[in-house]
Amino acid sequence: MAAAGDGWAAAREKFRSARALSAVESRKDPATEPFRSKYAARALLEEVKQLLSGAEEGGDAVRRAVLEYELGVNHADTEELSAGEEHLLRCTRLLEPQRLSRRCVALYIQAQVGAGRGPRRRGGPRRGHASPLLVSPQNNLGILWSERDEIKTAQTYLESAEALYHQYMKEDGNPPLDPSEHFMEEDEQLTDQERSKRFEKAYTHTLYYLAQVYQHLEMIEKAAQYCHTTLKRQLEFSGYYPVEWALNAATLSQYYLSKQCFMEARHCLAAANVIFSQAGQVPSAEDNEAEQDQQDLRQRKAEIARCWIKYCLNLLQSARKLLEDNIGELDLDRQLELKAQRKKEEDEKENGRKKAVLFVTSDICDSVLAMEEKVSCAYPLDFQEAREIFLVGQNYVHEAKEFFQVDGYVTDHIEIVQDHSALFKVLAFFEEDYERRCKMHKRRVDMLEPLYADLNPQYYLLISRQLQFELADTYYEMMDLKVAIGNRLEELDSHTIKKINLLAQLAIKYYELFLDSLRNPDKVFPEELEEDVLRPAMVAKFHIARLYGKLITSDGKKQLENMQTSLEYYTFLVDYCEKYPDAVRAVETELELSKEMVGLLPTRMERLRAKLCAFI
């Protein structure tokens, strides 16, 4: 018995060294021998296995399973997958009969996860993590079915681990033993609190791997749900970096936006803000580094602000979609209808869905709710409601711009200004007064034009084109509004005519600049348009045609010229679509109208010509 006791002490000692080698030493291995410590650890584990099989009484099944598990992980880490798999399977086989026991459940789950898990990435910690990674042995798990592109197999293992967790929690629920404890003395054993912490974290990882599996299998909704649950569990068991957590939550909000789930999106963003505020000051030894960290922190804050901007923008745009009639104006009947509907829903108060997705199981609950109250998640139905969302969005625009200044962050800065412009555009939709609406569009011009003027298209071709098009469209819209205002008057005064013509010419100018950007180095317009610029180019041509038609002049000859130019642009559309029938799909409405105009204009011009001749 004494000999066996000695053997046991030796086994424990070797086991401990192996773990240390594997987890700590292996990080310092030279690039030429990346697995030196791992191999040394493996040799030790094999020795322990020998010792245990020699001494029957010490070699109970669970300890042997722990060894098999460690060996499996070791082989997988050193890129010997098949051997690793064998060990892990042996481990699970040993544990199978008692997998639901307190002694085994944690190990069994980890073996399953290991068997389904992705590859261990070698190389240093990723940038952005200020402190070195803490070493946590039980995280260094097993075999990578996914390495062999067998996601389905990985899924099976992971799902069974998930099921086992639930079954255990239901049937037993006591903090299970941590695998490392099987090689510890009685007095070294962990507290129940520590056990529970480790167990829950291992389970969080199971969910995290499942999120990836579902993402790879393109089960997007399920993947999002698992991402959400992972985040939630990180909060519950306080295993997270605040900044990273906040960024993840903010990014997840963008997923919900694409699904039009505004309540969920808002919740993620509110939680992101609250958790981010915990990050606070980062202490650092060197001033230089501290400054860098501060800069980093400011950037993250601005990134979250940008997610909020998108939230406000999407909410407004979706509301607009609901409310607009077939010519893009506010549909008053629809507005009444939606208001009535909302009233009804408020009375019914459907709260069931909301509970399921909340993060707030902890002390941040109140802060998150307070954060959420600052902006609605319901579709705005009139100008007043739209304006409130607009203002929140605009505040985040200012916040984001504080960091993303044009000097140093050209692309980001312009993207934010574009969002700002888009916010004004959608707010204008809710505005009933045309003069005021026009002023909102003028604000857009004022923010975009100077940026465009400075921007070098040699480096920023794409953004440059976007700005050209947006400016053209804004002027176009302003002209339309001026025409509408003019139509209410008894007679067009010269001031309004001048204004309309000026706006039309500016719109033409920017559409032409856009079209010119498509020319090749020899200034030739492409014979066939690339698919990605096809629609914008055609729309630009079409709008120019219409703009020439709108120009007001009392000079008959000038008018004839404008009609001629207009006809040429309409003809371009018709001819192009005849030559490239594939293009028709992209511009159906525009083509139809162009055809009509190509039919009508010559007759009109003929009439005008006759009238002009009559005067002479």
Partner 1 sequence: SVEGDAIKVYVRVRPPSEGTALPDGDQGLCLSVLSTNTIRLHSKPEPKIFTFDYVANMETTQESVFSSVAKNIVESCMNGYNGTIFAYGQTGSGKTFTMMGPSDSDNFTHSLRGVIPRSFEYLFFLIEHEKEKAGSGKSFLCKCSFIEIYNEQIFDLLDSASAGLFLREHIKKGVFVDGAVEQVLSSAAEAYQVVLTTGWRNRRVASTSMNRESSRSHAVFTITVESMEKHNEIVNIRSSLLNLVDLAGSERQKDTHTEGLRLKEAGNINRSLSCLGQVITALVDVGNGKQRHICYRDSKLTFLLRDSLGGNAKTCIIANVHPGSRCFGETLSTLNFAQRAKLIKNKAIVNEDTQGNVS
The footprint of partner 1 on residues 49-68 (CB under 8 A) is none
Of the pair 281, 458, the CB lying nearest partner 1 is at 458
Ranges assigned E (strand) in 2-83: none
CB 334 within 8 A of CB 322: yes
For residues 295 and 138, give the distance between their C-alpha atoms in angstroms, rounded to a whole number: 34
Any residues with CB less than 8 A from the CB of 321 and at least 6 apart, and which? none
Q: Which of 10, 43, 220, 332 binds partner 1 (CB under 8 A)?
A: 220
- Binding of partner 1 at residue 409 (CB under 8 A)? yes
CB 269 within 8 A of CB 249: yes
Burial class (CB in 10 A: 0-12, 13-18, 19+), 609: middle
Q: Give min distance, CB of 473 to partner 1, in A.
A: 6
> Least separation, in Å, of the C-beta of 400 and partner 1?
9
| Selection from 569, 536, 535 nearest residue 551 by Cα | 569
Least distance from C-beta 610 to partner 1, angstroms? 29
Tokens for 276? Answer: 């981010």
End-to-end CA distance of the chain: 129
Q: How far is the CB of 208 from partner 1 (least distance, A)?
A: 5
Region near partner 1 per CB under 8 A, out of 82-90, 205-213, 345-353, 574-582 = 205-213
CB of 307 to partner 1, least distance (A): 5
Residue from 27, 216, 439, 443 touching partner 1 (CB under 8 A): that is: 216
Binding-residue total with partner 1 (CB under 8 A)? 116
Q: Name the residue nearer to partner 1 (CB basis): 55 or 518.
A: 518
Contacting partner 1 within 141-180 (CB under 8 A): 144, 146-147, 149, 151, 154
CB of 21 to partner 1, least distance (A): 19
Question: Nearer to partner 1 by C-beta: 44 or 275?
Answer: 275
Cβ–Cβ contacts within 10 Å for residue 378, how many? 14
Q: Which residues between 557 and 576 bind partner 1 (CB under 8 A)?
A: none
Binds partner 1 (CB under 8 A): choice among 129, 298, 339, 585? 129
List phi, psi (to 5°) of 102.
-60, -30
Binding partner 1 by CB under 8 A: which of 407, 490, 491, 555? 407
Site for partner 1, residues 513 to 542, rule: CB under 8 A: 514, 520-521, 524, 526, 528, 530, 532-533, 535-536, 539
- What is the SS3 assignment for 509-564? HHHHHHHHHCCCCCCCCCCCCCHHHHHHHHHHHHHHHHHHHHCCCCCHHHHHHHHH
Binding mask 428-467 for partner 1 (x = CB under 8 A): -----------------------x--xxxxxxxxx--xx-
Residues in region 471-510 near partner 1 by CB under 8 A? 473, 476-477, 480
Binding residues for partner 1 restricted to 309-368, rule: CB under 8 A: 309-310, 313-314, 317, 324, 327-329
Q: Shortest gap between Cβ of 239 and partner 1 (angstroms)?
A: 6
Indicate whether 208 belongs to the interface with partner 1 (CB under 8 A). Answer: yes
Q: Which of 71, 81, 252, 485 binds partner 1 (CB under 8 A)?
A: 252
In angstroms, give the least distance from the CB of 615 to partner 1: 32
| Residues 20, 21, 23, 27, CA torsion sign | positive
Report the alpha-carbon distance of residue 569 to residue 598 in Å, rounded: 9
Cβ 533 to partner 1, closest distance in Å?
5
Q: Min. distance of Cβ 128 from partner 1 in angstroms?
A: 8
Site for partner 1 in 87-126 (CB under 8 A): 117-121, 123-126
For residues 58 and 616, what is the distance between their CA atoms, to the nearest angstrom?
A: 119
Contacts of partner 1 in 18-47 (CB under 8 A): 30-31
Q: DSSP class of residue 324?
A: B
In the complex, what is the shortest distance from the CB of residue 204 to partner 1, in angstroms, rounded to a whole number?
A: 8
523 φψ region: left (φ > 0), alpha (ψ -120 to 50), beta (else): left
Q: What angle do CA 445, 429, 597 make, to 5 degrees?
A: 80
Q: Segment 272-311, which members bind partner 1 (CB under 8 A)?
A: 300, 303-304, 306-307, 309-310
Amino acid found at 114: G
CB nearer to partner 1: give 120 or 509.
120
Nearer to partner 1, 51 or 375 (CB): 375
Contact status: 376 vs partner 1 (CB under 8 A): no
Tell me the C-alpha to C-alpha distance, in Å, between residue 603 and each of 481, 559, 599, 607.
29, 14, 8, 6
- Asked if 48 contacts 59 with a C-beta cutoff of 8 angstroms, the reply is no
The one segment of 33-41, 238-246, 341-349, 575-583 that binds partner 1 by CB under 8 A = 238-246
Element at 76 (helix H, strand E): helix 61-77
Q: For residue 222, how many other CB atoms are within 10 A of its CB?
A: 15
Question: 521 vs 581, which CB is nearer to partner 1?
Answer: 521
From the CB of residue 285, how many other CB atoms can be counted at a distance below 10 Å? Answer: 7
Element (H, E) at 474: helix 461-488
Spatial CA neighbour of 313 closest among 446, 416, 398: 416
Least distance (Å) between residue 517 CB and partner 1: 8
Distance CA 246, CA 269 (A): 8
Query: What is the nearest approach in angstroms of partner 1 to the Cβ of residue 276?
Result: 11
